[in-house]
Chains A and B, each alone.
Chain A
Amino acid sequence: MKEKHEKIGKIILWIVLAVVAVIQMFPLIWLVDFSLGSSNEMFTNGLLIIPKKIRWDNYVKAFVDGNFLHYLRNSVLINTLAVILVIFISIMAAFACQRMKWKLRGFVGTLLVIGMMIPIHATLLPNYKIYSNLHLTDTIWALLIPYVAFSMPQGMFLMTGFIQSLPKELEEAAVMDGCGIYRIVFQIVTPLLKPSIATVAIMTFLNNWNEFMMASTYLSTPTWKTLPFSVLEFTGEYSSNYAVQFAVMALTAAPAVIVYVILNKHITKGVAMGAVKG
């Protein structure tokens, strides 16, 4: 009797999980499926199609006219720089506010973390004005500065927590050995923070990789445009060809999905750690 119950329970459990998985994945499968057909094949009543002829040329068009490689390179470059800067700045500031002894440390620490509450889009208008006055629009700085600024509070918050939980003895020993503060921060503390650095890096990457509002406001030429622009620009150009639009969407989504699937375990761990603490 009990065994039977357990079996039914297992089946229900699997059904629930499978249904959720289908809901999460089906739109994406639909996307890829139709991206391989021709535009006319969209107008069917079926859920999926078997393309009459697999149209890889949709992807060729998407790759070339979507400026894919160039935008991908920009995205990777800008995000990597942002991640590095966020990590450095937040480790330094978190160490100073957590370990060092000075009057305003609590105040400055809170101030830097308070940025988390500020809605990023409220700064679109004034930042546009500032950047254009300083001739920063359409440069890499126009993206790098806000990306760093709005990921820093979170990085700072997480780092403060992690540094707090580090034992002080190591640092004390280092001081005995005659280490300076900079060496303590970068050679003793930073290596100990490895898992937290990974967390901050992943969170920052996820935050900024898909950002396009600021990019489309502050940038005008393709020089520094990021991956979302493949989609944003393409749909206007190919408004009459749905299949090619689908191809460009699938292509744009691909890098992040592939990287995620490969690094799945690490990313999951990083996000979980960051999110639960944050």
Chain B
Amino acid sequence: MKKLYSNKPVIFSLILPGVLVFLFAVLAPICLSVYYGFTDYTGMGEAHLVGFENYIKLFGDHAFGRSLRNSLLLAIGFICIQHPLAIIVAAVLDKLQGKAEGIFRCIYFIPNVISVAVIAYLWKFIYNPDFGLLNNVLKAFGHPGQVNWLSQQNAIWSVLIVLIWHGFGWGMLIYYTGIKNIDPVLYEAASIDGAGWWTTFFRITLPLMKPVIQINVTMAVISALKQMETVYLLTNGGPNNSTQFAANYLYQQAFKAFQYGYGNAIGVVFILICILATVALNRIFKEKQEA
């Protein structure tokens, strides 16, 4: 058994495909990015090494700062709006029995399976000030309905609404599963003690959901950092970079502004930030658990 399980060639053959994919599609591009991040490569012609110039420039780049701030806003929005809503709806749904439960769960999840391309274009129409759905809804309630949803001030919140709407089913489902895993005995005990719905929710459901919430919060921060597709199609970072995100910005810099080297420098910093954020969040939650 031992011999069989430590056969080097066999081990090698088993991990080779995975390692190859990792080297070729993850590590190699990152290394290339690191290299180009030190050059003034425009995307064509010759590349010259320029040391840390790109990184120094990045440090004073308002648009990049803006994209990090937007990621932070988005993460806060997820955590403070989407997740509480998702938990409450999940808890309410849990009370429901029978067919209706499945039907609601199905409906909530549907936006999730639709392509971002469709979602982004659809919301572009929903936000249209002239004939968009939202302004028409406002008009139906007697409001003049002339809101400019994608203005410089509003755009980032409008983006947030789309993302919350699109990802709601996912978050809800995870909390829902978490709630289902809670031992029903606890609820019975609470009900014998005469605890109401809210008390049960705050005293039993929420505390027991802690690990699930922690995972979801981590995922929220990461996905806020990684945001690109929706923004790319909905606003392309505009107006005036007010909805800029790191991934979109590096794409624009490399392919639009002819600053491939600079784009890669952004990419490198972006990767570092994502790794740091994940590690930091894991550490915070771990310490909390220990305490």
- Report A-B touching, CB under 8 Å: yes
Using Cβ atoms and an 8 Å threshold, which residues of chain A touch B250? 121-122, 124-125
Cβ-based interface call for A28 (8 A): yes
Select B25's contact among A145, A185, A265, beta carbons within 8 Å: A145
Using Cβ atoms and an 8 Å threshold, which residues of chain B touch A152? 18, 21-22
Cβ-based interface call for B17 (8 A): yes
Q: Measured between alpha carbons, how far is A108 from B212 in the docked complex, in Å?
A: 27
Cβ-based interface call for A118 (8 A): yes
B:114-138 near A, CB below 8 Å: 114-118, 121-123, 125-126, 130-131, 133, 136-137
Cβ proximity bits B242-279 to A, threshold 8 Å, 1 near / 0 not? 00001100110010000010011001101100110010
Cβ-based interface call for B149 (8 A): no
User: Does A264 contact B106, Cβ atoms closer than 8 Å?
Assistant: yes
How many residues of chain B are within 8 Å of chain A by beta carbon?
95
Closest CB in chain B relative to A93 CB, distance in Å = 4
Q: Measured between alpha carbons, how far is A96 from B5 in the docked complex, in Å?
A: 9
User: Does B176 contact A92, Cβ atoms closer than 8 Å?
Assistant: no
User: Does B89 contact A20, Cβ atoms closer than 8 Å?
Assistant: yes
Taking chain A's interface residues, is the majority helix, strand, or loop, or is none over half, making it mixed? helix
Closest CB in chain B relative to A84 CB, distance in Å = 12
Q: Measured between alpha carbons, how far is A115 from B19 in the docked complex, in Å?
A: 11
User: Does B92 contact A260, Cβ atoms closer than 8 Å?
Assistant: no
Closest CB in chain A relative to B118 CB, distance in Å = 5
Among B48-56, B58-66, B152-160, B221-229, the stretch that binds chain A is B221-229
Using Cβ atoms and an 8 Å threshold, which residues of chain A touch B11? 96, 100, 102
Q: Measured between alpha carbons, how far is A272 from B198 in the docked complex, in Å?
A: 25
Knowing A111-B22, A249-B118, say if A256 contacts B113 (CB, 8 Å).
yes
Using Cβ atoms and an 8 Å threshold, which residues of chain A touch B100? 17
Using Cβ atoms and an 8 Å threshold, which residues of chain B touch A227? 115
Q: Measured between alpha carbons, how far is A96 from B92 in the docked complex, in Å?
A: 43
Cβ-based interface call for B14 (8 A): yes
Nearest B residue (CB) for A96: B14
Select B263's contact among A95, A125, A257, beta carbons within 8 Å: A125
Select A99's contact among B5, B28, B105, B169, beta carbons within 8 Å: B5
User: Does B26 contact A253, Cβ atoms closer than 8 Å?
Assistant: no
User: Does B92 contact A27, Cβ atoms closer than 8 Å?
Assistant: no
User: Does A275 contact B170, Cβ atoms closer than 8 Å?
Assistant: yes
Knowing A112-B19, A126-B33, A130-B32, say if A275 contacts B121 (CB, 8 Å).
no
Knowing A31-B122, A213-B232, say if A119 contacts B247 (CB, 8 Å).
yes
Using Cβ atoms and an 8 Å threshold, which residues of chain A touch B168? 20, 24
Using Cβ atoms and an 8 Å threshold, which residues of chain A touch B109? 260, 268
User: Does A172 contact B1, Cβ atoms closer than 8 Å?
Assistant: yes
Knowing A17-B104, A43-B131, A100-B11, say if A115 contacts B267 (CB, 8 Å).
no
Cβ-based interface call for A222 (8 A): no
Cβ-based interface call for A1 (8 A): no
Closest CB in chain A relative to B282 CB, distance in Å = 10
Knowing A31-B122, A118-B26, say if A156 contacts B18 (CB, 8 Å).
yes
User: Does A125 contact B117, Cβ atoms closer than 8 Å?
Assistant: no
User: Does A119 contact B17, Cβ atoms closer than 8 Å?
Assistant: no
Closest CB in chain A relative to B261 CB, distance in Å = 10
Q: Measured between alpha carbons, how far is A133 from B131 in the docked complex, in Å?
A: 47
Cβ-based interface call for B81 (8 A): no
Using Cβ atoms and an 8 Å threshold, which residues of chain A touch B78? none
Most chain A CB atoms below 10 A, which of B25, B117, B254? B117
User: Does A126 contact B264, Cβ atoms closer than 8 Å?
Assistant: yes
Using Cβ atoms and an 8 Å threshold, which residues of chain B touch A235? 121
Using Cβ atoms and an 8 Å threshold, which residues of chain A touch B283? none
Select A45's contact among B25, B89, B139, B251, beta carbons within 8 Å: B139
Q: A residues touching B (Cβ–Cβ < 8 Å)?
A: 9, 13, 16-17, 20-21, 23-28, 30-31, 42-47, 88-90, 92-93, 95-97, 99-102, 108, 111-112, 115, 117-127, 129-130, 145-146, 148-150, 152, 156, 172, 175, 180-182, 185, 206, 209-210, 212-213, 227-228, 231-232, 235, 242, 245-246, 249, 252-253, 256-257, 259-261, 264-265, 268, 271-273, 275-276, 278
Across the A-B interface, the 10 shortest Cβ-Cβ residue pairs: A149-B25, A121-B247, A93-B18, A126-B29, A126-B32, A272-B177, A228-B117, A210-B115, A96-B14, A122-B267
